[in-house]
């Protein structure tokens, strides 16, 4: 699977805040039309997703077919799960998925608690023609198994 640029889904606590390491977005080529839209996850109807919220803005360059997704991940309650978000794009006749992005502590464990992590850098940068998003929730256990995912939501 070919990836143009992928986000390192690592967040660390620095000075009381959290930071997500990401690849910065480049400038658009001359003559290209850049479309910018807002996005938000479904906030699914299953109990595990009611405390998960993610949203932000994405831009799409019509000439290069490049998506740059920015935004936030929010946990609305301390319920034993860490919120996450995942994206996918349609390219070369198939779907290509991003890694699931969870906010983690400086010990690389998912964070559970009431917070809103805002990323100033891109969450994901890739090329394609269609973009979708879904929320995720990871049960905080010793083996970190038990991830659940919501339905895909069309963004473009």
3-state DSSP assignment of residue 104: strand
Distance from C-alpha of 43 to C-alpha of 55, rounded to nearest angstrom: 10
pLDDT (tens, 9 = 90+) of the chain, 156 residues, equals 333 333 333 333 323 334 333 323 344 455 567 788 888 887 666 777 788 888 888 888 889 999 999 988 888 888 888 888 889 999 999 999 998 888 777 767 777 787 788 787 888 888 999 999 888 888 776 666 778 888 898 988
pTM to 2 decimals?
A: 0.71
Paired tokens of 134:
């879904």
**CB–CB of 57/71 below 8 Å?**
yes
Res 142: pLDDT: 62
Distances (CA, A) of 150 to 1, 15, 88, 111, 147: 23, 33, 13, 19, 10
The CA-based dihedral angle spanning residues 115, 116, 121, 123, taken in that order and rounded to the nearest 10 degrees: 90
Q: Which domains are assigned to the chain?
A: 11-25+35-154 (2.60.40)
Contact 115, 75 (CB under 8 A): yes
pLDDT at 144: 62
Please tell me the predicted confidence (pLDDT) of residue 5: 30
pLDDT computed for residue 109 by the predictor = 74
């Amino acid at each position: 699977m070919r990836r143009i640029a992928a986000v390192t889904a690592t967040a660390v606590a620095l000075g009381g805040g959290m930071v997500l390491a990401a690849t910065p977005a480049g400038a658009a080529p001359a003559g290209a039309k850049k479309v910018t839209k807002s996005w938000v996850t479904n906030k699914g109807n299953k109990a595990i997703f009611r405390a998960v919220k993610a949203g932000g803005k994405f831009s799409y360059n019509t000439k290069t077919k490049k998506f740059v997704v920015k935004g936030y991940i929010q946990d609305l309650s301390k319920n034993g799960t860490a919120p996450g978000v995942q994206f996918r794009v349609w390219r070369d006749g198939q779907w290509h998925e991003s890694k699931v992005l969870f906010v983690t502590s400086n010990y690389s464990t998912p964070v559970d608690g009431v917070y809103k992590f805002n990323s100033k850098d891109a969450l994901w940068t890739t090329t394609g023609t269609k973009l979708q998003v879904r929320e995720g929730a990871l049960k905080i256990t010793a083996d970190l198994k038990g991830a659940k995912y919501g339905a895909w939501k069309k963004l473009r």
